[in-house]
Amino acid sequence: MNRVLVTGGAGFLGSHLCERLLDAGQDVLCVDNYFTGSKRNIAHLIDRPYFEAMRHDVTFPLYVEVDRIFNLACPASPVHYQFDPVQTTKTSVHGAINMLGLAKRVKARILQASTSEVYGDPEVHPQQEGYWGRVNPIGVRACYDEGKRCAETLFFDYHRQHKLDIKVVRIFNTYGPRMHPNDGRVVSNFIVQALKGEDITIYGDGQQTRSFCYVDDLVEAMLRMMDTEAGFTGPVNIGNPVESTMLELAEKVLAIVGGTSRLSFQPLPADDPRQRQPDIAVARERLDWEPRVSLEDGLRETVRYFRALLAEGHS
Ligand code: NAD
Ligand code: UDP
Ligand code: UDP
């Protein structure tokens, strides 16, 4: 049995990851400061004998004994990471330093949840791992994008300098149950708006694209990456290469939810990438992985989750 630390374990992806690790018989320590995560996300895990939750901010040192670390702590949606941008950069950078320092001391394998945002608003399409990206270093998204880029730099320098056993995955847009209902991300926004009968807010002309991966597929890829042979560091793109425009996404959500919502066109946020699609050739080859859940099926599960959440009185 491995002792596995999951930072950001009470968040959307982290809570699914903790659950899968427990199901696989691992001893899980979830560390979270509950900035965007919640105890609700992990309430169903609390009574499991090999699960432990600790309130802690990763920008401060952490002294625990573990074999493996999944470093997910970081707000992920623009609304949340721009709320306190300095703290966002600190979380990515100081958080990475502390978790790498911890991994170095206890000789743990450590995986970083990086992001497709390291590619910025890309000139290369689809994005391969070798692409260096196009990020505005002084824009409003930079606290997240540059924070994550610096975290990758730290991971590779600890690997080269201190021989740390690192893994880096670049996660593309992921959705599913336990997304934050108010985090402003497009899938949660559209579903909640459709369920409430409110207008669907399309930013810009709705022709920008994203590629949406269902959470179960994503977690499977993270687990496979953690189990790859020592020396294989990545970075590896993980995401679903099926690309949709925001207008197509709105249509799919409306077809599932039904109701009377209409489309409302709003201004496009600053630095909003025009298109994004992962090239997952490396994940296919090295992880023997590709997404299995279609957008329709994944959206249906997500709609079911939000319907129940709203019925419980969450707004
Ligand atoms: P989330 O906001 O639901 O989860 C992040 C978790 O980190 C939350 O529980 C939050 O409370 C915690 N956290 C934030 N700052 C912290 C700090 N200083 N100390 C301790 N905990 C802290 O977001 P998510 O979608 O689950 O994302 C998880 C990770 O995956 C993030 O690192 C994110 O950058 C990355 N990622 C997610 C996506 C996506 O589409 N969901 C895409 C790319 C990358
Ligand atoms: N650190 C930690 N837990 C540990 C070991 C280190 O949080 O078990 C933190 C500590 O705050 C340190 C950082 O990780 O500043 C980087 O550690 P490293 O050993 O690389 O550097 P140094 O201690 O020399 O600053
Ligand atoms: N978006 C939208 N309506 C919304 C929320 C987002 O049209 O209510 C757009 C947003 O401008 C972006 C895309 O959907 O082009 C994805 O946004 P999200 O914040 O989910 O992810 P990210 O931009 O970080 O990929």
> pLDDT (tens digit, 9 = 90+) per residue, 273-303?
888 899 999 999 999 999 999 999 999 999 9
> Does some domain include residue 251?
no
Q: Is the CB of 82 under 6 A from ligand 3?
A: no
* Amino acid letter, residue 246: M
Q: With 0-12 CB in 10 A as exposed, 13-18 as middle and 19+ as buried, what is 285? A: exposed
Q: How far is the CA of 46 from the centre of ligand 2 (A)?
A: 29
What local confidence, expressed as pLDDT, does residue 237 receive?
98
Q: How many domains does the chain have?
A: 1
> Does some domain include residue 69?
yes
Most informative mutation of 144, 188, 210, 264 for ligand 3 (most atoms within 8 A of CB) = 210
CATH number at residue 160: 3.40.50.720
> Does some domain include residue 10?
yes
Q: Are 224 and 70 in contact (CB under 8 A)?
A: no
Nearest Cα residue to atom 5 of ligand 3? 186
> Does some domain include residue 159?
yes
Q: What one-character DSSP code corresponds to residue 77?
A: S
Q: Is the CB of 83 under 6 A from ligand 1?
A: no
> Does some domain include residue 260?
no
Q: What ligand is nearest to the CA atom of residue 89?
A: 1
> Does some domain include residue 268?
no
CA–CA separation, 89 and 142 (whole Å): 9
pTM of the model: 0.96
> Does some domain include residue 264?
no
Q: Where are the beta strands (DSSP E) in the chain?
A: 3-7, 27-32, 51-55, 68-71, 109-115, 166-171, 174-175, 200-203, 209-211, 213-214, 236-238, 243-245, 263-266
Which of 123, 116, 157 has the alpha carbon at shortest distance from 283?
116
Which entry of 34, 50, 81, 144 is annotated as an active-site residue?
Answer: 144
Cβ count within 10 A of residue 38: 16
Nearest Cα residue to atom 25 of ligand 3? 173
CA–CA separation, 233 and 252 (whole Å): 37
pLDDT beyond 90 at 1? no
> Does some domain include residue 207?
no
Active site residue 144: yes
Q: Is the CB of 296 under 6 A from ligand 3?
A: no
pLDDT beyond 80 at 315? no
Sign of the Cα torsion 94, 100, 106, 108 reads positive
Q: How far is the CA of 123 from the centre of ligand 3 (A)?
A: 19
Mean pLDDT of the chain: 96
Which of 214, 210, 108 has the alpha carbon at shortest distance from 167?
108
177 preceded by cis ω (within 30°)?
A: no
What is the per-residue pLDDT across 219-248, written as a single tens digit (0 to 9) for each?
999 999 999 999 999 999 999 999 999 999
Residue ranges making up the domain that contains 138:
3-177+213-241+275-292
What local confidence, expressed as pLDDT, does residue 273 receive?
86
